[in-house]
Amino acid sequence: MAKEKVNFEEEQVRISYRHTTSHILAQAIKNLWPEAKLAIGPSIKDGFYYDIDLDYKINDQDLLKIMKEMKKIIKANYKLERFELPRDEAIKFMEERKEDYKVELIEDLADDAVISFYRQGDFVDLCAGPHMDSTGQITAIKLTSVAGAYWRGDENRKMLQRIYGTCFPSQEELDNYIKKIEEAKKRDHRKIGKEMDLFMLNDVGPGFPFFLPNGMVIRNSLENFWREEHNKHGYQEIKTPLIMNEELWRTSGHWDHYKDNMYFTKIDDEDYAIKPMNCPGAMIAYKRKMYSYRDFPMRVGELGQVHRHELSGALHGLMRVRTFTQDDAHIFMLPEQVKDEIIGVTKFIDEVYKLFGFKYFVELSTRPKDSMGTDQEWDMAETALSEAMKEIGVEYILNEGDGAFYGPKLDFHLEDSIGRTWQCGTIQLDLQMPQRFDLTYVGSDGEKHRPLMIHRVIFGSIERFIGILIEHTAGKFPLWIAPVQVKLLTVTEAQSEYATKVKEKLEIAGLRVELDIRNEKIGYKLREARNQRTSYICVIGEIEAKGDTLSVRSNKEGDLGTIGVEDFIANLVKEIENKVM
RNA sequence: GCUACUGUGGCUCAAUGGUAGAGCACUUCACUCGUAAUGAAGGGGUUGGGGGUUCGAUUCCCCCCAGUAGCUCCA
């Protein structure tokens, strides 16, 4: 049967195609398990899913069975026919079919909504469309996984079974997609972290990562960079305690709004908490003395380690942990300085992300249900953030009700290797802390006034940022961050002396060098060094020892041929200085 | 936390109702070698923890812990 060519480049076509496949999935499930109740089945990034309520637990074997059934439906080439029903009839229609979830969906539709259905063979689904014309147009399908998902995303409601799948207009495209996912999985930071001996996790502390010597090189490089840049951008630095008493957390509001996520301890019978955020400590530091309006804007940074009791199921390598170091800063300002400060921080974040070649998107989160302050304060704060973004032409996604309990925020999201996004940078305007801690400054009128404040992070958490960096670079870090910058390999023991001298020279130039003079074949040493993702591998044999040269291989560019030792050093020093990716 | 799945030496994985095996890594010896694995020998595991069924459990059952995917929640 000759098929019309489907243009997958067009978004509408892609969505229709996936959406139609999700209907085929639903039909297949109803064929196999008539008692299954259908919830929703949308098209998503890279594929589709369908949520179903079924007592029988679907396993991986069943996915194959379902796929077989789907192929039958595709082969039958049913036409997709759209029809509309008035609300009462629509509800009756789904009630007769015992589709409780569909009934609920129809009941929640707006009064004037058009209630449309799509029919394919004897299967009918409530759906706004659009769809392909017939099931036969679907070519390559694959069901990828089954997982739990709450009905309507509400953890208080029933957990349904969600079947994920993907589909393409040709088998070749599907194969390519699967291959791409397999490749991406090789960049998983948890895998590379183990292979490169960067960090580890252990049952002694789930979600509390250990940083190993190689990982510490990366971490320290990032922290040194952070200090240099913050110096340039006019920041001071402080360090506040990890443990502070109950009263402080009551004053800050964390005790009332964040208790479930906090760890507690007792000291001499007094209640203390381990800090989940750095702001209260920063407030205490601020209050140590009097300030003039001339001191503002005052930017105070802190690499602050926080502990948060995250749900066990949320933990994920370095991306989601229970203790992490925020590259925090609090900026105290006059009202007229707010916009410029927000713009300044946004540009700062952009500079840093660009240096690493990261793509990101921005989200503006507004007032949540559980929050402090008045509507007026929130309006002012939300407006300040959105206007700053407008002024510098940064586009953002609005995420209503997802702000912090003390203020709205701009979040900067980065992607991991398989396209999951993680919030890293954030700028949060806070009208509550200055009030709660009674922060003041003396204005030009000689009176006390309340400063405005923003919290912000750039990396977000050093741990998460390193996780993203590992996946982004696949472990081939920019030279200035790389744990081992150069590895020298001798061909035979005859070159040990020369190699040792080269090593000294490189070390004097400040490079991180390892020397392998083991009595092993060069191929063996080379393989090991390559597996370690060493930035530069230098082979040293008789020729190099005589000519004062190195035979160099870059982990990014491959074989670079023979280079004089002095030139090699100069090149690397320059590469580090320029922070080449 | 919820749903499903997984948990075997440092790592990657195999096997079984009769107390476990490979490769890599590690140690020792030999080989002195030119761009992704030289050969040989050796050491290393109360099969995540606890309980139960059984003559016997690592395997079957229950509970707990941890991990993976997704949901929820978040840097």
Q: What integer best gives the mean pLDDT of chain A?
A: 94
Which bases in strand B are touched by protein, i.e. have an atom under 7 Å from a CB? Answer: 1-5, 11-12, 30-38, 65-75
- Written as six digits, the tokens of A487 are 């590895």
pLDDT class of A112 with cuts at 50, 70, 90: confident
Residue A420: CB less than 7 A from any atom in strand B: yes
pLDDT in tens, A248-282: 999 999 998 899 999 999 999 999 999 999 999 99
Predicted local confidence at residue A33, as pLDDT:
95
For range A228-250, the mean pLDDT: 97
A61 CA → B55 C1’, Å: 37
Q: Which residues are CB-contacts of A399 (< 8 A; sequence separation ≥ 6)?
A: A363, A364, A365, A366, A411
Strand bridging mode A536-540 / A549-554: antiparallel
Residue A444: CB less than 7 A from any atom in strand B: no
- Across A235-249, A358-372, A379-393, the highest mean pLDDT is recorded for A235-249
Residue A483: CB less than 7 A from any atom in strand B: no
pLDDT in tens, A516-549: 999 999 999 999 999 999 999 999 999 999 999 9
Number of other CB atoms surrounding residue A393 within 10 Å: 6
Please name which of A47, A25, A57, A33 lies closest in space to residue A125, comparing C-alpha atoms.
A25
pLDDT class of A2 with cuts at 50, 70, 90: very low
A205 CA → B48 C1’, Å: 15
pLDDT in tens, A134-155: 999 999 999 999 999 999 999 9
Residues 136-165 of A with CB under 7 A from strand B: 145-150, 153-155, 159, 161-162, 164
Active-site residues of A: which are they?
279, 308, 326, 328, 330, 409, 455
pLDDT in tens, A564-579: 999 999 999 999 999 9
For range A16-20, the mean pLDDT: 95
Residue A457 has pLDDT above 50, yes or no: yes
pLDDT class of A405 with cuts at 50, 70, 90: confident
Residue A526: CB less than 7 A from any atom in strand B: yes
- Written as six digits, the tokens of A349 are 């974040």
Instruction: Report the b/e string of A302-324 with b at 16+ CB within 10 A.
Output: bbbbbbbbbeeeeebbbbbbbbb
pLDDT class of A4 with cuts at 50, 70, 90: low
- What percentage of chain A has pLDDT greater than the value 90? 89
Nucleotide closest to A418 measured between CA and C1': B69
Sign of CA dihedral A439, A442, A444, A446: positive
pLDDT class of A7 with cuts at 50, 70, 90: confident
Residue nearest to nucleotide B36 (CA to C1'): A527
The rounded distance, in Å, linking the Cα atoms of A292 and A442 is 5
Predicted local confidence at residue A1, as pLDDT:
44
Predicted local confidence at residue A372, as pLDDT:
85
Please name which of A164, A161, A122, A171 lies closest in space to residue A3, comparing C-alpha atoms.
A171
Q: A89 exposed, middle or buried (CB, 10 Å; 0-12, 13-18, 19+)?
A: exposed
Predicted local confidence at residue A441, as pLDDT:
98
